[in-house]
Structure formats: C-alpha cells, structure tokens
Amino acid sequence: MRFSDFYAPTLKEAPSDSDIKSYELLIRGGFIRKISSGVYSYLPLGWKVIRKIESIVREEMENIGSQEIMLPIIHPAELWKMTGRWDDYGPELMKLKDRHDREFTLGPTHEEIVTFLMKNELRSYKQLPLNVFQIATKFRDEIRPRFGVLRAREFIMKDAYTFHTNYDSLRDYYMKFYQAYENILKRIGAKYVVVEADTGAIGGSFSHEFHVLAKNGEGRIFYCEECGYAASDEKAKSKEKFIPDESEPIKEIQKVDTKEAKTIEEVSKFLEISKDKLIKSILLKSNNGWVMALIRGDYEINVAKLRTILQDQTIDIAEAEEVYKKFKLNVGNIGPINIPEDIKIVADLSIKSIKNGVIGAMEEKKHYINATPYQDFRIDLMEDIRYIKEGEKCPNESCDSILKLTKGIEVGQIFELGNKYSSKMAALFTDEDGKQKPYIMGCYGWGVSRTLGAVVEQLNDENGILWPKSIAPFEVAIIPVTMNDMNIVETSEKIYNYLQQRGMDIIIDDRAVSAGIKFKDIDLIGIPLKIIIGKSLKEGKIELKLRNEEKSSLIEFNENNIEEFYHKVTEKLKDYDPTTVSNV
Ligand code: ATP
Ligand code: MG
C-alpha cells in the first residue's frame, strides 16, 4: 500500500471527549471515527486490524470444528419473552417496533435465536454434539457507553454455541474453547489472564473470562501467584474469617442523634467509631420487589454475588430518590430494624465479626449504636456478598498465600449454560433411551472490536500504538526520507515491490512531506518495523528500526541481492515483542 493513496487521516490533537488512551490513539491514528455515543465507523486502518483479529478468531474456531453461520440481527420479542430475558435483560435491549406494532430487539447476544433455530433442526441424539459460530454486529444499550470501542453500543462479536446430549460432552467442548481462546491471545501477542467469572445475565453454572491486561482496564482481577487462582472481582472469594471478639460484652442497643451524618465516613467520624463497627444497609430493587443487604462499613457490596445467591438477575441498588419515595428517608438512615417483614435481609459474612455495631435507625438524623446481629435485628440469609480486598487469603484450601489485584479488559467469556435456554424454549431432542430431553448447551463470546481497543490500551507509549505483528495494519513501513533524491526513491520502490511480492504486509510512505512527519505518523499508527532509506544508502546501508527500539541498526544493502535483505528484515521482525512497553 502507498501512503499517498491510503486514507489514514492522522490527527495531532486528542479528541475533546477522550476518556482513555486507546480511544485517543485510535482516533488520532485514523483507525476509527465516532458517529454518536457508543457508535463508530472503522476507517481503512481500523478495518484492516479488525479483519486480522477476525481471521485469527475464525481460524481458531475452525480448528476446534466450529462451523460458521450467520444469525439475524432483528430478534422477535416473543423469543426473548419465552426465556424471560425481555424483562431481565431490560434496558440494555435496543427495542423497536415494526409497522404492525410488533416488538423486536436488535440482538445483544444470540442464545434465544440459536436455540430456536436448532429446536427445529436437532431432533435426535445422533445429530449431537453441534458446534456453530458467527462473527457479527451486536447491540447493547449500555448505561454508560465509554472508552471508545471498549464499551460501545454497536460492536462486533464472535459468538459460538454448542449443543450436547450430556454434561461430559459439554465440558469437553468447553475445554476446547478455553484452549482456542488462549491460542487467540497467544497469537495476538498481548499479555493476558484467564479468570473464573460470574455468569451474569447470560446465566449458567460455570464460566471463565479472558482479559487483556491493562492498568486502565475496567475488570478487577484477583490472583494468587502461589497456586494460580484467578477470579474476576465479581466472583473472587477469600478464606477471610470474621470472628467476633469473645471478650467484648454485648451492650444494650441505643438510639443516638447523628445530625447530618449520613455516609459511612460521616457517621464514623461523628460517632468516633471505626468503620468496621458500622453496618451499611443497602436497599436493592428487582422485578420481584425489594431486598436489603447488610455489609460491614469497610467493605463494598457485590451485587453480582447477591444476584447469583438470590437467582435474580434484575437486582440492582435502588436510586436514592426511589428509596426516599418509598420510605420517606435518606439512604443514610435506612436500617434493618423496622424494615417491612416482606423485605428479605441478606447479610454479608463480614457482619459476623460485629457486636455492638452502628445501624441506621429508619428515622431522620438518627442511628442506633450497640446493635447486635440476630439479637437486635433479623437476618434472613448470611452469605458472601462483598468485594474482597487485595491481601486477603487465597481461597484455595491447600494454599497459604494472599491475593493480589490487577486490572484487565475482558475480551472473551465462555459459559456452560446447561439447559437454561433449551428447557425454557422446549428445545428437545430424543435421546438414546427414547426420552425427550432439553439440549445441554454452552456459549462462547469474543469481543472482536473490543480487542482492537484492548490491545492498544496495553501496547502504547508516548509516540503512539505498538501493534503486535499478528494484527498490525502493516508489518513494515518503508520510509524514503526524501522524495527528491532519485536514488533513495528508486531503491525504496525496489524494496517495496520485492517485499510485497514476498508476501509482506507493507506500506511505503511516499508522501512528499518531511521525514519527521513520516516518522511521527508511522509511530502513531504503530507499525512494528520501519525500513528507513536515507543518507547512508550512499554507503550501501539501510536503517531498520523496531517500534520499541531506541536506536536503529544499519544493515548492508546490495541491490543485486534483495532476497538477502528480505531475510534480514524477517530476522529483525522475529525479535519484535511490543509487550516490553506494556501498560499493565
Ligand atoms: P462487560 O462485563 O464488559 O459488560 P459482558 O460480560 O456483558 O461484558 P459478554 O456478554 O460476555 O459481555 O459478551 C462477550 C464479549 O463481547 C465480551 O467478552 C466483550 O469482549 C464483548 N463485549 C460485551 N459488551 C461489549 C460492548 N459494550 N462493547 C464492546 N464489546 C463488548
Ligand atoms: Mg462477559
């Protein structure tokens, strides 16, 4: 490709709405353009990278025998109502109506569609297992679309689905996908981690997430260096025990004035009682009503854990205004005493250590002190519903180490669904024993467009992007430092033609601009290797410079043996590892 013909509109300035480095670099490098919140166009550079990511993903899917299909984007509401997800998935669905007032959604994921499709196809155990995938556009009306293509409302996903007669077969395929996903990450060449994950609105019983490490990633990951345990923060557990102080006598509960103090911070300061003696009472709402969660003041509630425990994906922390409307109280004064009986109270294990604690009094400007769980207020369920903290003990029984925290960007997730969808949609097959049974299913998502952003987020420096070879828009850039020296121009063209004919993905910066501008743009765009053809050509030498190298190296060039030069270039590229500058 010739830069002079190529549409790569680089920009000097960061976009005014930049909220993360990768978004800034993808805009400045001329990879993407924003159309509206969470909606992007891909320019030639961006699309080239997307196509390379897609082909790695496609190859790895085909390697495990997955067959490519294409499912519709427009999903009839009835299918989503059958599984209950029309309501459960709720506001994230991009809903629309046709001219007959029939309801549809733009597909955010395709379990309903693929289950419905197969329900009419796979009738016998003889047709199972089946493994299919597609690479297509997905729509999710995210609450906060942000970070460019990392959290978009329209994005590209690879989604695969498997159908089985039994769980052994499912586990077998699940492990194949696990391996394929690791292969994808290895081939891409960014640092990554695999973690045990919460199953969220997709559901099912068993799940892993694949994260590209990045210090600005949204995914918080707890891991143990000793035994290899790794889990997303939504799922991570620890061996922390919460033991009350035996020597502390239980005192009588007492209502006290706390004036304007409402938050844990304020109440702790006002009463001069440490946060681990305070009990946070949190009201949550779901399609099934209200729930109260109690947690020690120095911890944060983990709604994902609560959703799993109560098997209700619609649970969310209630807005302060909603709470005010229902209880005529500020959230800071809410507490478990005098809360209506029909509101279930779920307490975190951390509450176990509290005697004589502080709780909201269900009265403006009042709290109780010396409140003791079970004695002074009811608890219906005590479970782990908190986010653990760095430094807590590894949950593996046989491990004595502690957990560390790192950050990543989730690029893929795999789920064992079991019969969650097939049973609700009556998607049955006849088994060997002649009985009708729902399919056992797995589903496997990969964020193709998110991968574009995630890799940039990990691999960048002050000059721009450092693409790994496998997905770089071009592997090599040829830079004639001037277009006014015929020798330089002709040699550059010769090398360009030769390397291209040898199958290299290559761009020649043949623009009539200064060498400085060329270097800046090529580095911003993130090409792994620059072949710089300049003054030293007179001495029969050409400069090679990897994107992460401080200094270039001079290579002998003999125009009668360009093949030899080609080998030197490929040798040089072999050494290239952009993760030396990774931002993890
Ligand atoms: P997240 O927790 O980040 O919202 P998710 O767990 O809801 O993602 P999945 O349902 O597991 O996402 O979807 C499979 C993959 O699709 C994700 O691993 C991610 O790479 C990608 N993906 C999901 N939501 C988005 C989005 N809004 N923008 C871009 N990619 C996305
Ligand atoms: Mg996910």
pLDDT digits (tens, 9 = 90+) for 489-522: 999 999 999 999 999 999 999 999 999 999 999 9
Dist. CA 412 → ligand 2 center (Å) = 7
Nearest to 105 by CA among 71, 152, 139, 134: 139
Shared domain check, 474 and 454: no
Does residue 573 sit in helix, strand or coil?
helix
pLDDT at 123 (0 to 100): 96
What distance in Å separates the CA atoms of residue 229 and residue 178, rounded to the nearest whole number? 16
What distance in Å separates the CA atoms of residue 309 and residue 543, rounded to the nearest whole number? 61
CATH code of the domain in which 259 resides: 3.90.960.10
Q: Is residue 220 part of a domain?
A: yes
Pair type for strands 254-257 and 366-371: antiparallel
Neighbours of ion ligand 2 (CB under 5 A): 413
Q: Is residue 391 part of a domain?
A: no
Nearest to 472 by CA among 164, 80, 45: 45
Instruction: Name the closest ligand to CA 108.
Output: 1
Split at pLDDT 50, 70, 90, the class of 201 is confident
Dist. CA 405 → ligand 1 center (Å) = 21
Split at pLDDT 50, 70, 90, the class of 243 is very high
Residue nearest to atom 26 of ligand 1 (CA): 151
How far from the centroid of its chain's Cα atoms is residue 548's Cα? 27
Question: Which residues, 6+ apart, have CB-to-CB distance to 12 below 8 Å?
Answer: 28
CATH code of the domain in which 575 resides: 3.40.50.800
What distance in Å separates the CA atoms of residue 121 and residue 422, rounded to the nearest whole number? 13
Mutate to test the pocket of ligand 1, among 34, 159, 410 (most ligand atoms within 8 A of CB): 410
The pTM score is 0.90
The count of structural domains within the chain is 3
Shared domain check, 203 and 99: yes
Q: What is the pLDDT of residues 4-39, one digit of tens each?
A: 999 999 999 999 999 999 999 999 999 999 999 999
Dist. CA 207 → ligand 2 center (Å) = 9
Instruction: Name the closest ligand to CA 143.
Output: 1
pLDDT at 200 (0 to 100): 77
Shared domain check, 535 and 444: no
CA distances from 173 to 113, 129, 164 (A): 21, 9, 9
Residue nearest to atom 21 of ligand 1 (CA): 447
Shared domain check, 136 and 35: yes
Pocket of ligand 1 (CB under 6 A): 109, 140, 142, 151-152, 155, 157, 200, 202, 410-413, 445, 447, 449-450
Question: Which residues, 6+ apart, have CB-to-CB distance to 231 below 8 Å?
Answer: 195, 196, 197, 221, 222, 223, 237
Does residue 198 surpass a pLDDT of 90? no
Does residue 557 sit in helix, strand or coil?
coil
What distance in Å separates the CA atoms of residue 536 and residue 559, rounded to the nearest whole number? 14
Domain that residue 563 falls in: 467-581
Dist. CA 482 → ligand 2 center (Å) = 49
Q: Is residue 131 part of a domain?
A: yes
- Check: CB of residue 431 under 8 Å from CB of residue 419: no
Residue with tokens 């669904």: 417
Residue with tokens 């981690």: 193
Beta strand segments in 265-343, E: 279-286, 289-296, 316-317
Shared domain check, 217 and 133: yes
Shared domain check, 85 and 103: yes
Q: Is residue 278 part of a domain?
A: yes
Q: Is residue 66 part of a domain?
A: yes
Instruction: Name the closest ligand to CA 444.
Output: 1
Shared domain check, 124 and 67: yes
What distance in Å separates the CA atoms of residue 281 and residue 65, rounded to the nearest whole number? 50
Residue nearest to atom 25 of ligand 1 (CA): 151
- Check: CB of residue 160 under 8 Å from CB of residue 71: no
Instruction: Name the closest ligand to CA 201.
Output: 1
Nearest-atom number in ligand 1 for the CA of 142 is 27
Dist. CA 439 → ligand 1 center (Å) = 25
Nearest-atom number in ligand 1 for the CA of 410 is 18
Shared domain check, 139 and 222: yes
Nearest to 32 by CA among 40, 555, 113: 40
What distance in Å separates the CA atoms of residue 57 and residue 159, rounded to the nearest whole number? 10
Averaged pLDDT of the chain: 96
Dist. CA 133 → ligand 2 center (Å) = 17
Q: Is residue 23 part of a domain?
A: no
Q: Is residue 16 part of a domain?
A: no
- Check: CB of residue 157 under 8 Å from CB of residue 107: no
Shared domain check, 430 and 373: no
Residue with tokens 């509960």: 253
Q: What is the pLDDT of residues 336-377, one digit of tens each?
A: 999 999 999 999 999 999 999 999 999 999 999 999 999 999
Dist. CA 447 → ligand 2 center (Å) = 9
Shared domain check, 509 and 438: no
Nearest-atom number in ligand 1 for the CA of 153 is 27
Dist. CA 531 → ligand 2 center (Å) = 41
Nearest-atom number in ligand 1 for the CA of 454 is 20
Which percentage of the chain shows pLDDT scores above 70? Answer: 99
Does residue 278 surpass a pLDDT of 70? yes
Residue 294 burial (C-beta neighbours within 10 Å; 0-12, 13-18, 19+) = buried
Pair type for strands 289-296 and 279-286: antiparallel
H helices present in 240-279, as ranges: 264-271
Pair type for strands 506-508 and 476-480: parallel
Instruction: Name the closest ligand to CA 313.
Output: 1
Nearest-atom number in ligand 1 for the CA of 202 is 10
Does residue 159 surpass a pLDDT of 70? yes
Shared domain check, 375 and 281: yes
Split at pLDDT 50, 70, 90, the class of 584 is confident
Looking at residue 522, what DSSP letter applies? H
Dist. CA 384 → ligand 1 center (Å) = 25
pLDDT at 582 (0 to 100): 77
Mutate to test the pocket of ligand 1, among 413, 414, 444, 446 (most ligand atoms within 8 A of CB): 413
Mutate to test the pocket of ligand 1, among 93, 450, 451 (most ligand atoms within 8 A of CB): 450
Question: Which residues, 6+ apart, have CB-to-CB distance to 354 below 8 Å?
Answer: 244, 276, 277, 279, 296, 372, 373
Question: Which residues, 6+ apart, have CB-to-CB distance to 101 below 8 Å?
Answer: none
Q: What is the pLDDT of residues 282-293, one digit of tens each?
A: 999 999 999 999
Looking at residue 170, what DSSP letter applies? H
pLDDT at 367 (0 to 100): 96
Dist. CA 203 → ligand 2 center (Å) = 11
- Check: CB of residue 163 under 8 Å from CB of residue 122: yes
Nearest to 508 by CA among 487, 486, 490, 535: 490
H helices present in 7-110, as ranges: 21-28, 44-63, 77-82, 85-88
pLDDT at 203 (0 to 100): 67
Q: Is residue 26 part of a domain?
A: no
Residue nearest to atom 14 of ligand 1 (CA): 445
Residue nearest to atom 8 of ligand 1 (CA): 410
Nearest to 358 by CA among 333, 390, 389: 333
CATH code of the domain in which 38 resides: 3.30.930.10
Shared domain check, 169 and 129: yes
Nearest-atom number in ligand 1 for the CA of 209 is 18
Q: What is the pLDDT of residues 381-433, one digit of tens each?
A: 999 999 999 999 999 999 999 999 999 999 999 999 999 999 999 999 999 99
Q: What is the pLDDT of residues 114-124, one digit of tens each?
A: 999 999 999 99
Computed on alpha carbons and rounded to an integer, the radius of gyration of the chain in Å comes to 29
What distance in Å separates the CA atoms of residue 229 and residue 392, rounded to the nearest whole number? 13
Q: What is the pLDDT of residues 26-81, one digit of tens each?
A: 999 999 999 999 999 999 999 999 999 999 999 999 999 999 999 999 999 999 99
> Of 414, 441, 458, which one is at a domain's C-terminal end?
458
